[in-house]
Structure 1
């Protein structure tokens, strides 16, 4: 494959480290794309990494680990990132550090950490103990944090954060009328003001939620039934990431009830809003009013939510409209709200059954009740913390995007999102002289686009393989699945369903998904999950029990299996699949 790209900017050699790559840690040498691949499936842009990820994100993450009692601050290198890694732009999570967390965490082990990230696959060398890893001081500190968490004294103030996020949105100035300096000030003020403490809480909740699910797994261990955990964390209710799906479903019912709206949707999603705005009919006005409210409430959501210029539901309204278009073909009894209630009822009944089975041991029953209460509190809070962070982040990036729009309109950039090719420390110089950045941005854009075409290694242990050995992302799998094959993953949402496969690589391809089909994807994030409502089941190549696809499918009641290696390559459109979301297997019929 060629790793030199000829553009107007000249030769781009992608074998060099990406613009914002940093050396990996020698002290903590094992990294993985597990979990982070669904959040950041493409390389990190320079502005994202220097504003949101990288050192800014590392500081908040380290603070969360230290506050939880798992590490001392001096265990980290102050001059480089270590909890994360960036290899030719692709973000990695440090497994070595997470394993030490498993050593120090009461009741956990490095093997349990590996199980969280890799399922049943042994894809990395076993944990090797190091001096200080098992220091009892950390176990004692974590134990104290867990005690506070059980008592309800964990990260708090989330309802206040909801109000703050709404306030920051309400205070958005007229960005088109703002000066470039005012846009830059808005970007910086939001990131350094309300955003930082909120995203810090989200990092803390990553560990608190792992404590909750770990306690539940321990409490269920005597019953020797591996299906119990996923069934008992389903249908919890109040999960913010599922709420947009309910709103889009309600919009789809407006369409099915209106001949006028149906006719306009039949004419296609492109140009739909413009056509609707020219019509003066009560049902059309109601749809437009409710869609405007949807965009104001959920417009920050979309794919690649931690990036600077992602396709969000505010900036790309065709994305949610395409999902409404798919949902309108579903019968009324496909309403996700009753399915979610049914799943909740099944969970409550299962809790009673488990209590009865544990009733002979007051200690075991008490451990189960404590874990159940903690899961029910922490899991929705974890998603709310992310929603709050993303809403505030969106306000910062809208200011940056307005800068990008202006520079594209002036001819300095080829496209609006070229603003993301600039590092944060370059923004002042960009505003002072945007024309001087044109060749730099063009070169970085060509470089970035080529990196997007590659499939980074899942695991890096020490020195990463040279980028010229990385396969093409769209390279077909050699071993295409055949009838009778059983593909193993992780149980994400209970239930069993059979239907034809539909492999999608982008939520923009929503129109291809037909009622009754099994949605198969490499990764999913919030921009995908309303599509779950239109799918009979979901299969995802990358993911874990607490990944986004798993959390939302459990709220919507959609049978789901995640972590099915190479599923989006091995499975082809039309293959009949049976998805067993309770057992975590996919059978090709």
Structure 2
């Protein structure tokens, strides 16, 4: 094993589009991409959807991409990177955008990317008419009923899930592939397209408000729209927590320990216990696909790891009533409406600017919820793609072919198919497992350039001393303003949301990244600081819906800030002040 060699699913980086970043990729794929992940979820399946989204938007032609190599999603020594050069070219071709804007979106305040240098073909006027048609379509859209139809289809797929025990090994693989082809491929394409469509709205809003000289105004208008699918689990978890808090018998059961409380409640004949179990199971049916590391092939999702949900409910039951998402969300909506009234008054004499503001607000009300619904729909059907493979892994574990079902992830999909007839295929797993262990000790570079990849033996150790100094009293760390407002409290650095029992109400959550598995913790904390992210990342959208001041893209926040530090999060200015 030589980790200097390419990982089994590493890709050839694009020479035409040579700059890649971990920005946004690290948010959903924090660790090494397994061979099964790369061939079932990432890899060509995601690349194809993303390419089609760019073509559908009108900013690229399929012929601009390599037919043989991944261009948009590169893999470097196991870590997923997003092609920044392609996003920069999109910025060139998109009216009102720029390469610098795309850098802010994907890099945040992080440095290290080479300055954009125009290349032949970047500025392509032939795409202007198509892009302008997309802009007109987005700004005139007042509803997305297709996403509601997709949500219904995802629920039906879940309710009609087959009994896996009746399927052969090969049939499990075939079913997984069929779900991807019928649902997941198109749902992912829509979500990728949604990223660009929603950026039109926020970019237009920035332009409308630019003359007022206050960049925080746009962020303040982007939250509190309601109906955000990724915020719904936190709201439902709150309801479950209140169900427990309102019952002495349920409180007693939780106080006796959460490790087996679900088993005890299922065995109970008490009315409150039966009600809780029924509501809990309904929650898992609706939200069981959510997890941390949602781009992984075997993530700790809530359906297969229900005790994660139990622990979140336990945290919710201890919170005061004024922490209810409905209360904090209402405060965000009231703040947004108050700001709107103020802006309408300021722009009242300028009918054109006022009309633009109203158009931007109308579009925001559609596209902010739509963006998160498209992601939720995709994750729900992706869950049905993954679970048959999990069942297959369990079978091989029971037969002694695998030490653990999770070891199946160390095989490519074609190797998993071979494994159904030849158990010797599993012989490569032990070496690959050691390889992953070595790579995951390392912190991959935030930016890489084709032809200039450093050896992983030179990368910083995750557990070693930080390249940045520990923040001292008086230091002000900068990032991206994600949710307006300020919060002062004690920092709690959390690297795994499944192990966040120590997070106390009112503390400041400091996290490496935040996908949907993290967001129920937002209700517990008073502020959020994240290493990576952008104004339209998942953490930003949900923090705004829940009214939690948040600053994203604070470089190495989890290493520069220590648990127990008193700090102030200013989600309006995008700063974190160390006290």
Shorter-chain TM-score: which interval?
over 0.9
What is the TM-score with the length of structure 2 in the denominator?
0.97
Q: CA deviation at 1:476?
A: 3.4
Question: In the alignment, is residue 516 of structure 1 matched against residue 506 of structure 2?
Answer: yes
Aligned CA distance change for structure 1 residues 557 and 289 (closer, same or farther; 3 Å):
same
**504-513 vs 435-444, which deviates more?**
435-444
Contact kept, 8 Å, 2:142 with 2:366, in 1: the verdict is no
Cα separation, 2, equivalents of 1:449 and 1:229 = 43
Q: Identify the residue that residue 556 of structure 1 maps to in structure 2.
A: 546
Contact kept, 8 Å, 1:148 with 1:154, in 2: the verdict is no
437, 458, 469: which one pairs with 2:446?
Answer: 458
Cα separation, 2, equivalents of 1:368 and 1:52 = 39
Q: Identify the residue that residue 585 of structure 1 maps to in structure 2.
A: 575
**84-93 vs 129-138, which deviates more?**
129-138
Contact kept, 8 Å, 2:289 with 2:302, in 1: the verdict is yes
Contact kept, 8 Å, 2:142 with 2:363, in 1: the verdict is no
Q: Identify the residue that residue 5 of structure 1 maps to in structure 2.
A: none
Contact kept, 8 Å, 2:486 with 2:568, in 1: the verdict is yes
286, 290, 296: which one pairs with 2:279?
Answer: 290
Cα separation, 2, equivalents of 1:283 and 1:408 = 38
Q: How many residues were matched structurally?
A: 577
Cα separation, 1, equivalents of 2:253 and 2:425 = 43
Q: CA deviation at 1:475?
A: 2.2
Cα separation, 2, equivalents of 1:351 and 1:322 = 39
Question: In the alignment, is residue 546 of structure 1 matched against residue 536 of structure 2?
Answer: yes
Q: Identify the residue that residue 358 of structure 1 maps to in structure 2.
A: 347
Deviations 1:516-568 (A, max 9, x none): 11111111111111011111111111111111111111111111111111110
**223-232 vs 141-150, which deviates more?**
141-150
Contact kept, 8 Å, 1:255 with 1:261, in 2: the verdict is yes
Map of 1:67-466 to 2, 5 A cutoff? Answer: 67-152=56-141, 157-433=146-422, 435-462=423-450, 463-466=452-455
Instruction: Extract unaligned runs of 5+ from structure 1.
Output: 1-11
25, 39, 43: which one pairs with 2:32?
Answer: 43
Cα separation, 1, equivalents of 2:32 and 2:144 = 31
Aligned CA distance change for structure 1 residues 438 and 426 (closer, same or farther; 3 Å):
closer
Deviations 1:480-538 (A, max 9, x none): 11111111111111111111011111011121101111111111111111011111111
Contact kept, 8 Å, 2:144 with 2:370, in 1: the verdict is no
Cα separation, 1, equivalents of 2:111 and 2:293 = 28
Map of 1:495-506 to 2, 5 A cutoff? Answer: 495-506=485-496
Aligned CA distance change for structure 1 residues 45 and 121 (closer, same or farther; 3 Å):
closer
Contact kept, 8 Å, 2:11 with 2:70, in 1: the verdict is yes
Map of 1:458-497 to 2, 5 A cutoff? Answer: 458-462=446-450, 463-477=452-466, 479-497=469-487
Instruction: Extract unaligned runs of 5+ from structure 2.
Output: none
Q: Identify the residue that residue 519 of structure 2 maps to in structure 1.
A: 529
Question: In the alignment, is residue 53 of structure 1 matched against residue 28 of structure 2?
Answer: no
Contact kept, 8 Å, 1:325 with 1:511, in 2: the verdict is no
**111-120 vs 56-65, which deviates more?**
111-120
Q: CA deviation at 1:122?
A: 4.5
Q: CA deviation at 1:156?
A: 5.9
Say which SS state the counterpart of residue 31 (structure 1) adopts: strand
Q: CA deviation at 1:269?
A: 2.0
What is the TM-score with the length of structure 1 in the denominator?
0.96
Q: CA deviation at 1:163?
A: 1.2
Cα separation, 2, equivalents of 1:252 and 1:264 = 13
Cα separation, 2, equivalents of 1:151 and 1:333 = 38
Deviations 1:241-267 (A, max 9, x none): 000001111111111122222222223
